[in-house]
């Protein structure tokens, strides 16, 4: 599917990123395995995780190089893309997968917890994509795959920073898809459902929680990789600006925001008439903020 293509996968030292990197290589891509080897909250760093995945790829007969630059800094992110060009002569696709978590209820969240998560997820996706865009424009081809989350698309407790970043990535992807369409560059999002360290902190204090976690553990990161490979391939040439989810063996196309209901009033609106007429009529279209409701039936990742 991606024979001869050069693909950058960020956050590829473990979890979903690792399986995407392995799958890219198994389908013929030359892979830059990027990972700073940090803890889940972004602290520390090690070259070990990236190198281990590279060793796996090479042992299977594939081609890969490690990279430990951070996506959270523009100059550093640019070096990730340059690593691909210097190592393999070009770049054909980027998978923006790197991420950290600093979960906290909104009223307790610090500025640093907010900033750190946005820097890795949203800024990181922008920095890497922007660095690759110059090459894609020049060669008149390229593909970007970004990891979003139902935490952003739907909502989740204690993740205002993560959710804001992930929904921001959707808007970023859509804008890239529009801006770079004339250069044959595509941009799409995946909301993955998979057991990884990113959700390893889900509590298991009750039988209900343990059952939920056992169910999620069946959704392995490897299930997400085939869609990422497809979206990076020429076979996905007509797929652009879309949002998909992968949940075990199920692939879904996620709807994008559209007006659900509209009301016109020829004489205009006052706050009172909105309260008396507009909101009661629109109320049936409201999404309930209730974890038990169908709108929240998918576990955010």
Is 162 annotated as catalytic? yes
Return the C-alpha torsion angle 279, 153, 157, 95, nearest 10.
Answer: -160
Summarize pLDDT for 6-41 with one digit per residue, the tens.
Answer: 999 999 999 999 999 999 999 999 999 999 987 666
Flag whether pLDDT at 211 surpasses 70.
no
> For the residues 248-267, what does the mean pLDDT come to?
92
In a domain, 270, yes or no: no
Question: Within a domain: residue 298?
Answer: no
Our CA dihedral for 54, 59, 61, 63, rounded to 10 degrees, sits at 20
160 has a pLDDT exceeding 50: yes
The mean pLDDT of 35-54, rounded to a whole number, is 83
Residue from 25, 9, 27 nearest 17 by CA: 9
299 in a structural domain: no
Lowest-confidence pick of 192-196, 200-204, 274-278: 200-204
CATH number for the domain that contains residue 108: 3.40.50.720
Mind giving me the DSSP string for 131-193?
HHHHHHHHHT-EEEEEE--HHHHT--TTBHHHHHHHHHHHHHHHHHHHHTGGGTEEEEEEEEE
Q: Which of 123, 126, 127, 162 is catalytic?
A: 162
pLDDT for res 283: 82
Answer with the residue of higher pLDDT: 151 or 136.
136
How many structural domains comprise the chain? Answer: 1
Confidence of residue 293 (pLDDT cuts 50, 70, 90): very low
* Per-residue pLDDT band at 136 (split at 50, 70, 90): very high
In a domain, 294, yes or no: no
Find out whether 60 and 25 touch, Cβ atoms under 8 Å: yes
Stated length of the chain: 301
What one-character DSSP code corresponds to residue 238? T
Which of residues 137 and 197 earns the better pLDDT score? 137
Query: What is the domain range of residue 127?
Result: 6-256
């Amino acid at each position: 599917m991606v024979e001869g293509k050069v693909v950058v996968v960020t956050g590829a030292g473990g979890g979903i990123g690792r399986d995407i990197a392995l799958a890219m290589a198994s389908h013929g891509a030359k892979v830059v395995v990027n990972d700073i080897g940090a803890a889940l909250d972004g602290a520390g760093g090690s070259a070990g995780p990236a190198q281990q995945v590279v060793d796996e790829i090479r042992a299977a007969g594939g081609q890969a190089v490690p990279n430990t630059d951070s996506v959270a800094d523009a100059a550093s992110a640019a070096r990730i893309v340059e690593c691909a060009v210097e190592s393999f002569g070009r770049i054909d696709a980027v998978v923006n997968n790197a991420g950290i978590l600093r979960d906290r209820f909104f009223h307790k969240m610090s500025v640093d917890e907010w900033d750190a998560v946005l820097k890795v997820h949203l800024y990181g996706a922008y920095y890497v994509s922007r660095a690759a865009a110059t090459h894609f424009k020049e060669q008149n081809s390229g593909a970007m795959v970004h990891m979003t989350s139902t935490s952003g698309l739907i909502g989740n407790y204690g993740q205002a920073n993560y959710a804001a970043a992930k929904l921001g990535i959707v808007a970023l992807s859509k804008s890239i898809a529009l801006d770079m369409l004339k250069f044959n560059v595509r941009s799409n999002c995946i909301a993955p459902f998979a057991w990884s360290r990113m959700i390893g902190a889900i509590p298991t204090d009750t039988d209900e929680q343990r059952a939920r976690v056992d169910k999620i553990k069946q959704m392995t990161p490897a299930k997400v990789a085939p869609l990422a490979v497809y979206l990076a391939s020429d076979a996905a040439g007509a797929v652009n600006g879309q949002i998909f989810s992968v949940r075990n063996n199920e692939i879904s196309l996620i709807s994008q925001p559209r007006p659900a209901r509209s009301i016109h009033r020829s004489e205009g609106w006052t706050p009172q008439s909105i309260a008396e007429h507009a909101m009661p009529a629109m109320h049936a279209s409201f999404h309930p903020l209730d974890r038990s409701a169908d709108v929240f039936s998918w576990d955010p990742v």
